[in-house]
Amino acid sequence: MSVLSKIRASLNANYAALSAKIFNRGNAKESITVNHVTVRPVARQTQDIGKWRSALICAEQDHDQRTLLYDLYEDILLDGRMKRLIEQRIQSVTNCKIKFTQNGKPVEDLDTLAMTTAFAEFLREALMSKFWGHSLLELYWQPAGSVLAHTTNLIPRKHVKPKLGIVTKEQWGSEGLPYREKPFTDFVIEIGKANDLGLMLQCSPLVIYKRGGFGDWAEFAETFGMPFRWATYNNDQSRQILETALAEAGSAGYVVAPEDAKLEFHNAIAGGNNNDIFRMLVQACNEELAITILGQTMTTQEAKGSGFAQSKVHENTQGEIHADDRLFVLRILNEKLNPYLASLGYQVKGGEWAFEDGENLPLTERITIDEKLAAFIDIPDDYWYEKYKIPKPKEGSSGGAAEKKPEAVKTSGAKNS
């Protein structure tokens, strides 16, 4: 009998005991997935395109070994530019207020849940599946009305084999717990496709080239950034004296050569500056990273020689990507999280998750929208005071509100009468 068969037989034989543990939400240590893996540290090494290609080939095989590729991902995440671009994508969703409504009314228990750290971690890891290709989350959230803390565990990605549907004890293993079967399906949520390796697959070569460019640039600066010293001699005694003197005179480069020797430095770029080629390479890699992750470049760096219209096009492109991310999260919440919440006693039937539109709009845009709406519908005075944090005037005093209120607001009542 194979190890996998033994594991399955053991699970079936102890199903009742395991189920009791699963629904004992008061103790996150009762986890039967996370606690069955042996987490190894990231294998840090110098990365190059050859290693990236080898890791990719290994991950694409049927045995689904992503350890080399995910170690490479961890390494390239040390790049500050890439880290910031990813955070920009994630924050465009996590900074938006999300709510659950049922028949148009909010559900208090779920509003409270949406404000917890565990819920925020769920949203973050759901979005990170776009960059890693896959996320497997183990939820130990408390039943409705409980005051105990919720726990969200990310199953270590190197131990998850999506093509095989298992979680292995060792990162290089090929047999393990079948997380798509009972009882794991009661508390494990899978996000992402089995054959998806994430956006970081395309970003990795760019970071590798960028690092190489910085390394060459640093070597160039070390070699040619300091004054170069040239000394000649006509006998061995002079040579030894010069070598000793120059070696003790500092770290700048030097050459001690015979009097008839000749030294020339040839510029690799005709009529140009060697230093520019390194800057151009780094800049090109940064731009490609921004295009890969955000779909544009002008909201992340200074735009030279570009007009307002072009910047708006770039901003709209990024907005489309952020809108797609929000739709992606809503599908996960409504299709995958709601059944889990229902098992905990939350009243989710007939309701859905949604983002509160306009919560993160700039104030000037919000006012413009409200003014246009006020031309067609009656907007209560209380809305303006609450929305824009304006103190209400005391009774008997308009405080100039009638004169200062937008014309559209003052005439909206007449248009509707």
Upper half-sphere CA count for residue 146 (Cβ side, 13 Å): 16
What is the greatest pairwise CA distance in the chain? Answer: 108
Residue 313: what pLDDT? Answer: 53
- At 234, give phi and psi (nearest 5°): -125, 5
Residue 219 token pair: 């070597």
Task: Give burial (CB, 10 Å; 0-12/13-18/19+) of 179.
Answer: buried
Is the distance from CB of 13 to CB of 183 less than 8 angstroms? no
Phi-psi region of 259 (alpha: psi -120 to 50; beta: other; left: phi over 0): alpha
| CA–CA distance, 365 with 178 (Å, rounded to integer) | 50
Is the distance from CB of 314 to CB of 298 less than 8 angstroms? yes
Task: Out of 11-25, 263-277, 388-402, pick the least confident.
Answer: 11-25
Better-scored residue on pLDDT, 266 or 350: 350
Residue 359: what pLDDT? Answer: 54
**Angle at CA of residue 388, ends 386 and 393, nearest 5°:** 65
| CA–CA distance, 76 with 373 (Å, rounded to integer) | 47
| Residue 356: partners with Cβ closer than 8 Å, 6 or more residues away | 96, 97, 98, 99
Better-scored residue on pLDDT, 102 or 385: 102
Average pLDDT, rounded, for the chain = 80
Residue 129: what pLDDT? Answer: 96
Is the distance from CB of 166 to CB of 179 less than 8 angstroms? yes
- Of the pLDDT bands very low, low, confident and very high (cuts 50, 70, 90), residue 23 is very low
* Type and span of the H or E element at 152: strand 151-154
Is the distance from CB of 265 to CB of 272 less than 8 angstroms? no
* Type and span of the H or E element at 140: strand 135-140
For residue 138, how many other CB atoms are within 10 A of its CB? Answer: 21
Better-scored residue on pLDDT, 20 or 144: 144
| CA–CA distance, 168 with 164 (Å, rounded to integer) | 10
Q: Residue 36 pLDDT > 70, yes or no?
A: yes
Is the distance from CB of 64 to CB of 162 less than 8 angstroms? yes
| CA–CA distance, 196 with 180 (Å, rounded to integer) | 18
Residue 23 token pair: 């629904």
Mean pLDDT value of segment 301-315 = 50
The pairing of strands 98-102 and 351-355 is: antiparallel
> For residue range 258-285, what is the model confidence (pLDDT) as tens digits?
887 877 766 666 555 667 888 899 999 9
- At 258, give phi and psi (nearest 5°): -60, 160
Phi-psi region of 9 (alpha: psi -120 to 50; beta: other; left: phi over 0): alpha
- % of the chain beyond a pLDDT of 70: 76
Q: Residue 16 pLDDT > 80, yes or no?
A: no
